[in-house]
Structure 1
C-alpha cells in the first residue's frame, strides 16, 4: 500500500493496521486507542493474542475471525484481513458488541415470552382434558372450580399478549418524539378515577395544569401501570398517592407512592427488566406479567424523560418520572 493510502487510514474511525511480514508497521489512532500505542513495531501475534485472528492475518488469502474481550470483557470484535501485497496485510477491526447484544436480547425475549405462555397454556389444556372425562365433567362443583382456573389462566395469557403488543408498538415509535399536548394534572385525575370503587387514589398537584408534549395514550398507560402496581402491592386499604409537581426548572415530577411491603434493595436495579419479578409467586397470583415496569421505562424514555423507583422494605415504594414541560 502507498504512503498516501496508509495516511488515509488515519482518518478512519474504524481501527485499522498495516501488517508487513507479520509485524505491525502502522496503526491508526482508533487502533492505538483500542490496543495501545505500543503495538506499532510489535509482532502481530503479540498485538492480537487470538489464534484464529492471527491465523487469518498470516494466511496467504487473508480472512476474518471473531474475537471476544478485545476492548472489554463482554465485547465482540470482527478482525478482517485483506491481502494488499506479497507480504502486506490490511487489518480492520469492527465492533460487533451491540449487534451481538441485541441478538441475544431478542433470543432471550422470545425464550422468556414462550416460557411465560407455556405454563398457563399447559394448565388450560390439562384442565380441559380432565373435564372431558365424564366422571370429572359430571361433578358440577369440580367443573365450576376447574372452569374458574381455566378462565384465570386464559386471562393471564391475554394480559401477557396485550403487554407484548404494547411493547412492540412502543419500540416501533421509540425514536419519534411525541408532539401532542397533554395536561399531566388532568390526566392523573382521569386515570385515578378509573380505579374508583376498587381502591382510593389520592391525587395532588402544585399547579392547576402541567402541559407537556406527549402521547396521551402511552402516558395513560404509564399511570395506569404504576397505580395498578401500587394497588397490588400496597397494604389492604392502604393509601395510594399520585403527586404532580411542575418545577421552574422546566420539568414536571410525577410520583406514585404506596405504603406496602416494599422491594428488597437487591431487586431494585432489575425491576424494569422484561419478565423480572421481585416476588414471582405473588406477581403471578395477582395477575402480573413481568412487563409493566419495562413498558413504563420505554414510554418515559420515548418522552425524553427519566424513570426511577425508590423503596424501603416495610415502608413502601415510590415510582417517579420526570418529563420536560412543553416549550422548555
Structure 2
C-alpha cells in the first residue's frame, strides 16, 4: 500500500527532530557535565523522543488537515461534512484532489447544460411568440380592414372574414397542441389502450389525407399487401394522430410527384416497427437531434409557408413515449427521410 503522505511527513520530521535533540543533549551533557551518555541510555532517549515526536506531529497534522478539508467540504458542498467522521482524513490527500477535480468537472458540465437549456428556452420563447404573433396580426389586420369599410363590399368582406377565420383556426391549433404537450409531459393524459389492426388504421389515415396528397401529387402506399391483420396495443386515437402528423409531414416536405411509403415490420421483444418513408430532399444530420423539439424548424421560412403549429413532431414523440415506446429518425440529403416508431404487438392466446 502507498504510504500516507502525513505518515511520511511525521516520519521524516520526527527523525530530524530526534537527531537534533540527541545531538544537542549528548553534546550538552559532555560540555556542561563532562559526561558521555552510555549507549543504552542514548538508545532509550532516541526511541522515546522519536515515538513521542512521531505521534504528536501525526496527530497535529491530521487535525490541521481535517479542519481545512472540513472547511472545503462545507464551502463547496462536495460532500456532507459528517462523512469525514466515517474515514480517516489522513488517508488520502490525492483522493481529495480527485474528488475536488470531479466536483469541478461536474459543476462545469452543469453550467454548460444550464447555458444550453437557457439557449433553448430563449429560442422556444422566440418561436412561440412568432407563431402566435403571425396569425394574431393577420386576424387583426383583416378585422381592422373590415371595420374601416371593407365590410360594405360583400365580396371582399366574405373573403377577408374567411382569411381571418383561417388565422383563428391556426391559433386554436397551436393552443390545442400546446395543451396536449403539457398534458403529455405532466402525465395528465389518460391513454385508452386497446387492441386494434394497425394495417387498417394506416389505410384509414391514407383515406383522410388523400385530398392533401393530391395537392402535391404524392402517392400514399403500403410497402406491400398485408394479407393478415397486424394487431397492436395502444390508444387508437393517439396513434392515428402520430400517423397523421408523420404522413402530413412527408407530404409537405417530400418530393412533388413523389411517394410516401408506410411499412410494418415484426421486430424483436414482441414489437411492431411502423415506418413512414418519403423520397424528398432529406434533412441534414445536424438537425436530427433537435427535430422533436417544440417549434424547432429545419427551414424557418419554408416550414412556416407550409402552415401547421410547429408542434407536430414534438407531439408525436410525447405520444409514443407515453406508450413507453421509442421513435427513430433517419435521413439523407436528396434521398429522403424515414420516421419509425414501435408499438406493442398483441399476443394471441
How far apart, in 2, do the equivalents of 1:38 and 1:101 lie? 40
Name the TM-score, length of structure 1 as normaliser.
0.65
How far apart, in 1, do the equivalents of 2:284 and 2:188 lie? 30
Q: Is the 8 A contact 1:163 1:291 kept in 2?
A: yes
Q: Is the 8 A contact 2:263 2:276 kept in 1?
A: yes
The structure-2 alpha-carbon separation of the partners of 1:327 and 1:171, relative to structure 1 and needing over 3 Å to count, comes to: farther
> Which of 167, 170, 173 is the aligned partner of 1:159?
173
Deviations for 1:29-48, whole angstroms, at most 9, x for unmatched residues?
x849xxxx999769x9x987
Q: Is the 8 A contact 1:184 1:211 kept in 2?
A: yes
The structure-2 alpha-carbon separation of the partners of 1:109 and 1:198, relative to structure 1 and needing over 3 Å to count, comes to: closer
Q: Is the 8 A contact 1:242 1:256 kept in 2?
A: yes
Residue 251 of structure 1, CA deviation = 1.8
How far apart, in 2, do the equivalents of 1:159 and 1:74 lie? 38
Give me the CA root mean square deviation.
4.1
> Which of 201, 206, 226 is the aligned partner of 2:220?
201
Moved more, 181-190 or 204-213: 204-213
How far apart, in 2, do the equivalents of 1:196 and 1:122 lie? 32
Structure 2 unaligned blocks of 5 or more: 1-64, 81-88, 214-218
Deviations for 1:61-88, whole angstroms, at most 9, x for unmatched residues?
xxxxxxx966143426xxxxxxxxxxxx
> Which of 216, 240, 252 is the aligned partner of 1:232?
252
> Which of 183, 186, 208 is the aligned partner of 1:169?
183
Which residue pairs with 1:270 in the alignment? 290
Residue 285 of structure 1, CA deviation = 1.8
> Which of 309, 327, 331 is the aligned partner of 1:311?
331
Which residue pairs with 1:222 in the alignment? 242
- Work out the number of aligned pairs and report it: 263
Which residue pairs with 1:87 in the alignment? none
Which residue pairs with 2:196 in the alignment? 182
How far apart, in 2, do the equivalents of 1:160 and 1:175 lie? 18
Name the TM-score, length of structure 2 as normaliser.
0.62
The structure-2 alpha-carbon separation of the partners of 1:101 and 1:299, relative to structure 1 and needing over 3 Å to count, comes to: farther
Which residue pairs with 1:130 in the alignment? 145
Larger proportion of strand = 1
How far apart, in 1, do the equivalents of 2:291 and 2:267 lie? 28
Structure 1 unaligned blocks of 5 or more: 1-18, 50-67, 77-96
Residue 297 of structure 1, CA deviation = 0.8
Larger proportion of helix = 2
The structure-2 alpha-carbon separation of the partners of 1:231 and 1:73, relative to structure 1 and needing over 3 Å to count, comes to: same
